[in-house]
Chains A and B, each alone.
Chain A
Amino acid sequence: MGKVANLESLQQVYFEAIPLLANRRAQGGPAEKPLNGKCDVLICGGTGCVASSSRDVREALLVEIERRGLKEDIRVITTGCHGFCAKGPLVVVYPQEVLYCQVKASDAPRIVSETLIGKQILEDLVYQHPQSKERFPVYHEIPFYRHQLRLSLRNCGLINPEDIREYIARQGYFALGKALTQMSPREVIEVVKDSGLRGRGGAGFVTGIKWEITQRSPIRPKYLVCNADEGDPGAFMDRSILEGDPHSVLEGMIIAGYAIGAEAGYIYCRAEYPLAIQRIKIALAQAYEYGFLGENILGSGFSFDIYLREGAGAFVCGEETALLASIEGRRGEPRPRPPFPSVSGLWSKPTNVNNVKTYGLVPQIILNGAEWFRGFGTPNSPGTATFALTGKINNIGLIEVPMGITLREIIYDLGGGIPKGKAFKAVQTGGPLGGCLPAEALDTPVDFDSLVQAGATMGSGGMIVVDEDTCMVEFAKYFLTFASAESCGKCVPCRIGGRRLLEVLNRISNGEGKPEDLDEIEYISRNMKEASLCALGQLTPGPVVASLRFFRPEYEAHIYERKCPAKVCKGLITYRVIEENCTGCMVCKRNCPAGAISGEKRQVHYIDPNICERCGICIEVCKFDAIMIE
């Protein structure tokens, strides 16, 4: 393939690429012309599905298709993440748009003979609603997808992320063409400003204004950085986009580079995402091959390069000044702001830093206009929010919803509620630097400002649901353990404050809490928030403060009654045999790793609380529900 020299030849490539997607249609979108009797089988190649052996399914399908001599009629395509990771490996058959869940390699012959040839739906592979037991064969009719609005994720799971032509067939690189040939850099910035797009990394700064500051600086060269150092536990939005639609991010970066007058861009991706890194590398090579990167892009005279940098395992590098230090080859320690990177960033040059999702949305905004984008979401937070929904929820996965939707709608309509009929307790947004919200706050609309007002944060998109079995002290302690371990150690409030806070929480969960500990938590948290150098230190107390605010009685029960209401904290619980239920089968005694259980055959057993390690194995192995926690 030669370089795409101008807008006309991009049109040409587009028309040639359209047939590739003729069988597939966007969710809820109009059906495009079907190819004569031909089928596309899409296999999810996201990290989740690959881990559940989607590659084996692919091989098995290829073998079966080959055996039946159908290679000409059926194409097997590996796509990015569909978001429904817990149900993986996922297979979608087009043109019927049938979604099969948890497909095994051994299902391949049936899929070929029944669905691809016989046009019959395999009921047992179709998604079944956990409560109503209703089956949903059609992809976009599944409740998990029906309530979504996919802008950032519009190509994820639909196109082959390793084939630039499929991206172009979705009008890929048209926004770049429009920006470079029909718009001045100022006009591009105006459109992004008018769209009201706010940074999807979590802080929600208005993207257009950030670009403007960088653009106005007289200092050259200027740089552009894509923050793909997605480090929050429980978050995988950026990874899925980079794996499923890497070109959208590249296109957004090139447009941003044109708008602010940058010469080069860096993608800083965490090394823990090998598949995302591989897909970025492929996408970069293709973009250079087609001439969307490099010299004189689309004949416009604008030149731009993008380099990939792999992180080296430091959570703090998600903070922009630490990230820049890391690209420069130094320890990833933050520095005080101002000056902000827009003024003095990489190698002290003006640098625009945005999140993966922010860049990914730019092409569609340029192509469809600011008004189009403002048509979604709320006036102050236009567009959509992408969340990685996880924890104690039925539909674990990746979702994209219009801003302004309530937490309740996300958790119950999309998420399918809490498993095993348990009660909802809290939802944590913003990851280890965010906060939790209780059941009373379920009707809070999800947008940048409302979440902050309610006591949590938008964050970059982790959403963790916990049920009644979760102890909020333990939950807060978990995040604090993570965040304080990731403190870079440069500033004192964060380094020492996190430690001290953790000590207090450990004390409380061990049953050694003191009445003044709650004041101590508030005191340390306030100081960390006000005196820490960067967001990591300022927000580390967030989960503790939020859980103390909404679940204070639970903290008090730990301290005053020496009880853990959720029966989780090991220092505050004892395991006991329920004598009426115990048959003396000896199973628990044999399985106890600590040797804490005594008792003869057919005699009621006894657990010695002084030896018991509270590991819970005995409860798991007991067939008679004869062990309880007090």
Chain B
Amino acid sequence: MNRTLDDDPAIDLKPLLEIIDEYKNQRGAVIPVLQRTQETYGYLPKPALKEISKRLRIPLSRLQGVATFYAQFHLKRRGRHLIRVCDGTACHVKGATKLVNVIEENLELKAGGSSPDYKYSLEIVYCVGSCGLAPVVIVDDRVVGQAEPDKLVRQLKRIED
């Protein structure tokens, strides 16, 4: 995972300010605020973290600590479509590794990274709890069960922006 903050082009802070406003007086709001921020921007841009730090009065170093601790948070820009391959026990046994290899090869990316055109990002996740359907791939929010390598790649390539 990326351990440093990226330099980013300017972002529109307006939606962020609304999020911060909503959680301003709540205890332990840091993680929900980061989650909402990532929902809005797709990742956690540096200017957003700075703004959260200032307005919630939390040192930037602590925010960075939290953001890098949890697998969910991303400090780097990600692709428009997120492909998550489950490598939980059941999926592993049923060939998750092969799915990853095929996707990496065909979409020109590496697990944990994005394709050059930022159309796709690929992540390996542990157990999404759909073991009965192994091997499982989640494309954006759609679960593809009993995934077959060739068919999956065709499906992925068909996704439109």
Contacts and interface: CB of A to CB of B under 8 A. Distances in A.
A223 B89 CA distance: 35
Given A233-B89, A391-B89, A314 B70 contact: yes
B72 A239 contact: no
B115 interface: no
Given A235-B127, A271-B35, A312 B136 contact: no
A328 B35 CA distance: 14
B129 A239 contact: yes
Interface string B13-38: 00000000000000111111011000
Contacts of B62: 330
Given A48-B133, A274-B141, A329-B28, A315 B89 contact: no
A362 to B, nearest CB: 24
Given A232-B127, A233-B88, A274-B141, A309 B133 contact: no
B132 A85 contact: yes
Contacts of B153: none
Contacts of A47: 128-130, 143
A509 interface: no
A426 interface: no
Interface stretch (B2-10, B75-83, B90-98, B106-114): B90-98
Contact of A233 (B28, B31, B65, B126): B126
Interface in A34-63: 47-48, 50-52
Interface string A307-339: 001111111000000000011111111000000
B69 A396 contact: no
Contact of B127 (A50, A233, A391): A233
Interface in A430-475: 462, 464, 466, 470
B71 to A, nearest CB: 3
B11 interface: no
A247 B39 CA distance: 28
Interface string A215-247: 000000000000000111111100100000000
B42 interface: no
B60 interface: no
Given A234-B131, A332-B69, A315 B126 contact: yes
A310 B32 contact: yes
A315 B70 CA distance: 9
Contact of B72 (A271, A478, A615): A271
B131 A331 contact: no
A615 B105 CA distance: 15
A315 B34 CA distance: 19
Contacts of A462: 89
Instruction: Kindly state the interface size class of chain B when it binds its partner.
Output: 35 or more
B47 to A, nearest CB: 21
Contact of B129 (A273, A309, A332, A464): A273
Interface string B127-158: 11111110010000101110000000000000
A599 to B, nearest CB: 24
A272 B128 contact: yes
Contact of A329 (B29, B128, B132): B29
Given A85-B133, A234-B131, A328-B28, A478 B89 contact: yes
A390 B134 CA distance: 10
B35 A52 contact: no
Nearest to A274: B141
A424 B132 CA distance: 19
A347 interface: yes
A276 to B, nearest CB: 9
Given A272-B129, A331-B69, A332-B70, A51 B145 contact: yes
Contact of B132 (A86, A235, A274, A310): A86
A488 B93 CA distance: 26
B73 interface: yes
Given A47-B130, A52-B145, A272-B125, A312 B92 contact: no
A388 interface: yes
A230 B129 CA distance: 9
Given A272-B125, A312-B73, A329-B27, 17 more contacts: A47-B128, A47-B129, A88-B133, A230-B129, A235-B127, A312-B72, A313-B72, A314-B69, A315-B126, A327-B28, A329-B28, A330-B30, A390-B89, A390-B132, A391-B90, A478-B89, A478-B92
CB-CB nearest 10 A-B residue pairs? A85-B132, A329-B30, A313-B71, A312-B70, A233-B88, A51-B143, A233-B127, A236-B129, A313-B72, A312-B72
8 contacts: A51-B143, A51-B145, A234-B131, A312-B35, A312-B73, A326-B31, A328-B28, A333-B69
